Every structure is written in C-alpha cells, then in structure tokens.
C-alpha cells in the first residue's frame, strides 16, 4: 500500500489561525477490507467553513478533532477496490480530507460519488458543480425565492459560491450585483460571470460609504441578499434592503477568528420586515440532484465559467487556506496533488 502524507490539526488557534496550527505527517495506508476502496486524491477543497471547525466551540459543524486529518472535500480516482460498486479508474468525489490517499467504506449512501468528467473537469466537482454551487443554488432558490426583474446582491461574489450565485440569478431573469475585493475580481464578475455591477469593498473605509455605493448600483433597492461575509458588509446592505426582502445567511468570514460581529442597525430587520435565514447545505441533501444537474449543465455549456486558485502539493495546503481567509484566492481555492 502507498505511503500517505497527511495534514492534521495539531493545536487550536488563539485568535487568527496560523500555519503552526497544522502538522504534516506521513503514514502507511492500511490494507483494504471488504466493501472499501482506496482513493488517490487529485484535488483537495479548501473552504471558509473549515476555520470555524478549528475552534472548540459551538458552530454549525462539529469541531475538527485535534491530532486527526483535517476534514474536507476531495476529488480523485479509485486505485484499488474491494467493492463491486466501484472500479479502478472511477473518478470520485468524497470527504477524504487533507491527505494524498483515503480508504473509504462505500456502503453508507453518499460516502463516495462517481462523477463524469467528459464535459465537466474533475476539479469543478469541488466548486461550481459541488458543495459551493449547491450552497448558492439552495440560498437563491429556497430562501431568497427570486422573481424576474428583482435585484439580488451577493458578497464574496467571485468565490466558488458567489460566482455560481450570480450566474444562477441571471438565468432566472434577475439583476445581479456583486461585492468583491479588488478591481480584477470586479472586472471578472461583470465581464465573465455576467453580473450587472460589482462593487469593490476595498474602496470603502466604512459601512456608510459602501452602502452609498450599493444604493447607486441598486437604484430600486435590494430584494434578495446572499451573505458570505458579515460585519461591515452586512451593515452596508441592510439599509438598502426593500421591504419584505429575503437574506440567505451562509457565511460570516469576517468573524471566523472568533471575535463577535455586532450588527449596527438590527432594527432594520424589523422596520423592513426582512426574512433572514441561516442554512447549512448538507442538511438539505434532497435538493442536491436537482441543483447539480442545473449547475453541471451551466458549466458544460460555458454559461458558468468558474475561476480556480490552485496550490501545488499537500504541504502547500495550510498557507493556501490562510490566504483564502484573507481573500487572496481568486475563485475556488484548491490544492492539486497529482
């Protein structure tokens, strides 16, 4: 069996996460039992939710155990199989974690999913045609419940979730406005993803300034907002929300270092009669087939052209992850292992 390099969570962050919270180990891959397969990972998925799980505190996902492989999505290839359900050479997506190989018991439903790479590249099954894409789909379709002609806004607009959200909103006849960091990201949002406008939050020193820019980009107000960031960005959006608007609360990356994120004007939720709903996409597996079918078609037909930031090699994962938390990635952040 092959030697396996793994990254474990060695200690919990005190405030901001650092590379010293992780440790690179090497171990022998165990022999397969009946009903198991060995997967060689081609790509690891790095996602903002992982930061919250590094803390030993109540979050929307159980804390990452110390001394164990960092958990996360993986895409790869079956290299050995003791299950009739999978053949050597099958391309698969699972939750193999931050390591080069994983041994997977394939009996539980959804433990490992075969994917077709004929029209959709393998890496996109960790982004636009994977968990981030379904996250965008669920927040849009099930919480915001869009109608043609409405104005919808998304923060972190060029990330894996935000980029899918923009394209899905445009397909439904909505006006899509993004919030992103830097002129290059805003240009990509408008020119390649088809957003109607994109605001560079880095050009605004406070919520009032960002809110003014939002009012100019959304003259008819905001009907639906998809939140990935929180903090100043949410404070800027709330005054622009139309009465009875819907907010899908997916992430609060501004507060992932453990500091509380106070809301400046929570009374706006009442005065504008807003529906604000947090959600975790893994609790809604019933929508995944429908969402993945639409997302796969959008990618295969070139209507959704996702960007990727790719770090090379398992040892690069911690620094790539820390960069993701600071917005250094452009599109979906991956680690390429093969």
| Residue 321 pLDDT class (50, 70, 90 cuts) | very high
What is the pLDDT at residue 1? Answer: 79
In tens, the pLDDT along 203-229 reads 999 999 999 999 999 999 999 999 999
Q: Decide if 3-127+306-336 and 131-282 have a common fold.
A: no
Domain 3-127+306-336 fold? Quinone Oxidoreductase; Chain A, domain 1 (3.90.180)
Residue 124 has pLDDT above 90, yes or no: yes
What are the residue boundaries of the structural domains of the chain, listed by start?
A: 3-127+306-336, 131-282
Residue 141 has pLDDT above 90, yes or no: yes
Rounded average pLDDT over 61-69: 90
Question: Are the beta carbons of 254 and 236 closer than 8 angstroms?
Answer: no
What is the pLDDT at residue 214? Answer: 98
* Mean pLDDT score of the chain: 95
Domain 131-282 fold? Rossmann fold (3.40.50)
Instruction: Give ∠ CA 54-281-284 in degrees, rounded to 5.
Output: 135
In tens, the pLDDT along 7-55 reads 999 999 998 999 999 999 999 999 999 999 999 999 999 998 899 899 8
Q: Kindly give the residue spans of alpha helices, DSSP state H, lying in 54-146.
A: 131-138
Residue 63 has pLDDT above 80, yes or no: yes
Residue 253 has pLDDT above 90, yes or no: no
Rounded average pLDDT over 239-248: 98
What is the pLDDT at residue 247? Answer: 98
More confident residue, 287 or 256: 287
What is the pLDDT at residue 256? Answer: 76
Alpha-carbon distances of 15 from 51, 86, 242, 325, rounded to whole Å: 11, 43, 36, 13
Question: Are the beta carbons of 310 and 336 closer than 8 angstroms?
Answer: yes
């Amino acid at each position: 069996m092959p030697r396996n390099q793994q990254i474990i969570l060695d200690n919990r962050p005190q405030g901001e996460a650092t590379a010293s919270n992780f440790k690179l180990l090497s171990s022998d891959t165990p022999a397969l039992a009946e009903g198991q397969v060995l997967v060689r990972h081609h790509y690891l998925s790095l996602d903002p939710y992982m930061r919250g799980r590094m803390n030993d505190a109540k979050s929307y996902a159980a804390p990452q155990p110390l001394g164990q492989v960092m958990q996360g999505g993986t895409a790869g290839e079956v290299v050995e199989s003791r299950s009739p359900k999978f053949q050597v050479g099958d391309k698969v997506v699972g939750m193999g974690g931050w390591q080069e190989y994983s041994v997977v018991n394939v009996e539980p439903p959804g433990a490992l999913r075969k994917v077709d790479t004929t029209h959709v590249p393998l890496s996109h099954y960790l982004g636009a045609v994977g968990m981030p894409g379904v996250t965008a789909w669920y927040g849009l379709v099930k919480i915001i419940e869009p109608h043609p002609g409405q104005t919808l806004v998304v923060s972190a607009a060029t990330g894996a979730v935000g980029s899918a959200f923009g394209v899905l909103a445009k397909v439904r006849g909505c006006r899509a406005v993004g919030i992103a960091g830097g002129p290059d990201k805003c240009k990509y949002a408008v020119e390649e993803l088809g957003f109607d406008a994109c605001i560079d939050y880095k050009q605004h020193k406070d919520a009032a300034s960002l809110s003014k820019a939002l009012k100019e980009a959304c003259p008819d107000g905001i009907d639906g907002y998809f939140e990935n960031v929180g903090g100043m960005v949410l404070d800027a959006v709330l005054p622009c929300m139309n009465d009875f608007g819907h907010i899908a609360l997916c992430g609060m990356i501004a507060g992932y270092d453990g500091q509380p994120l106070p809301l400046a004007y929570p009374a706006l939720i009442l005065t504008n009669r807003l529906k604000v709903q947090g959600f975790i996409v893994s609790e809604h597996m019933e929508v995944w087939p429908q969402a993945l079918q639409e997302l796969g078609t959008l990618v295969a037909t070139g209507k959704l052209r996702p960007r990727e930031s790719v770090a090379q090699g398992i040892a690069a994962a911690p620094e790539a992850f820390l960069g993701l938390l600071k917005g250094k990635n452009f599109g979906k952040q991956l680690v390429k292992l093969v």
